[in-house]
Amino acid sequence: MLPLASRIRDPRLLPLVDKVLRGERLTFDDGLLLYETPDLSGVGAMANHVRTRLHGRKSYYVVSRRLSYTNVCYTHCQFCAFQAKPGDPRAYALSAEDIIRELEKPDNAGVRELHMTSGHNPKLKIDYFEDLFRKIKARFPSIHLKVFTMIEMDYYARISGLSTEAFLDRCLAAGLESCPGGGAEIFDEELRERICIGKKDAQVWLDTAALCHRKGIPTNCTMLYGHIEEARHRVDHLLRLRDLQDRSRAAGYEGFLAFIPLAYQNEENELSRTHVIHETTGTQDLREIAVARLLLDNIPHIKAYWVMISPGLAQIALSYGADDVDGTVIAEEIAHDAGAKTPQGLTQGDLERLIREAGYEPLERDNLYNTYETAAV
């Protein structure tokens, strides 16, 4: 294979190549350069070098079901098309029985992960979640419960009159096993105030994630990009995640398992009604994956979330730093309500084929990245 430096067209990237080859950490200014350089294929080659060092040709996916227990939400996230205010005819909250009935449907056979994020509904307190988790685990003991963004956890703890730690302890005892990475949006305080009015700030998100890590439950992390943010906001966001992961790892915890860049979907939401914001482009999506792989040197997995960037681009992203395509993602609402044109779920066979055709080895995983022999699909 050609040496990495020979793949670089922008000479300003050469000092970064040296760092990548030595496994040395990149700085804030390096991050800005990775966003600014026109040499996307050079950035991709560096990211692919790191991806190959960590994971070889392996590419992971999970058989996953999405479910939102409520769409009622009191926050005013300008980018969100999913939320409904109380009184809205679309507003709903599901009972444990509703969720179990849904999971019993035949298209959920083989689901390993139940991924639930929702709105901030003032009617739902700790008893609701304990009941939900206990009943789901009693009926489906092998389904992994991955629930709550860090902001939801903080909210539902507060309205239950509990500290976040006490709320989390009770949820863990009832069956919660890990947390998805949503709600991070963009950490920059000034920008966050503009795109998610009334939502808790970055420090709350980071402190809650740190608490989860200390309790021994793995979490993911995300960044919403492609709206009104600039490169400096994205670098700042990624480095705040890296910094927390350093602290969690130094204290002996697993911390973040995966980072997922979330491409802004620009329909049916307030942000796109008040600003002209184009769909993210293929090169922008690939650069986000690559920059994340290069800056987040302490987070093991980078996901190419096909729901938001398309299955075809997710295939290419596997050569730009991603090692995970998330999963079957049955019944996704948040991205589709905001205009995502991707299918409502892929089959295991689709995912295996996408990964294989991109030149990688597909591996079915669970939430903790244990892998499984997949029956012929």
Q: Looking at 63-138, which runs of residues are DSSP E strands? A: 64-66, 76-77, 113-116
Q: Which of residues 65-94 bind ligand V47 (CB under 6 A)?
A: 79-81
- Beta strands 371-372; 361-365: pairing state: antiparallel
| Binding residues with ligand V47: total (CB under 6 A) | 24
- Whether residue 77 is annotated as binding a ligand: the answer is yes
Per rule CB under 6 A, is residue 305 in the interface with ligand V47?
yes
Cross-strand pairs, 324? 60, 303
Angle, helices 126-139/96-103, rounded to nearest 10 degrees: 30
Among 222, 280, 315, 328, binds ligand V47 (CB under 6 A): 222
Per rule CB under 6 A, is residue 220 in the interface with ligand V47?
yes
- Whether residue 73 is annotated as binding a ligand: the answer is yes
Per rule CB under 6 A, is residue 224 in the interface with ligand V47?
yes
Closest CA to 147 of 119, 174, 102, 179: 179
Q: Looking at the chain, which runs of residues are DSSP E strands? A: 58-62, 64-66, 76-77, 113-116, 144-147, 196-197, 219-225, 256-263, 301-302, 324-327, 361-365, 371-372
Binding mask 261-290 for ligand V47 (x = CB under 6 A): -x-xx---x---------------------
Per rule CB under 6 A, is residue 183 in the interface with ligand V47?
yes
Per rule CB under 6 A, is residue 178 in the interface with ligand V47?
no
Per rule CB under 6 A, is residue 185 in the interface with ligand V47?
yes
Per rule CB under 6 A, is residue 181 in the interface with ligand V47?
yes
- 57 burial (CB, 10 Å; 0-12 / 13-18 / 19+) is middle
Cα–Cα–Cα angle for 92, 343, 142, rounded to 5 degrees:
65
Per rule CB under 6 A, is residue 248 in the interface with ligand V47?
no
Neighbours of 90 (CB within 10 A): 11
Given the complex with ligand V47, which of 8 and 72 has the nearer CB atom?
72
- Whether residue 171 is annotated as binding a ligand: the answer is no
Binding residue ranges: 73, 77, 80
Please give the residue ranges that form the binding site for ligand V47 (CB under 6 A): 79-81, 117, 149, 180-183, 185, 220, 222, 224, 260, 262, 264-265, 269, 305, 308, 326, 334-335, 338
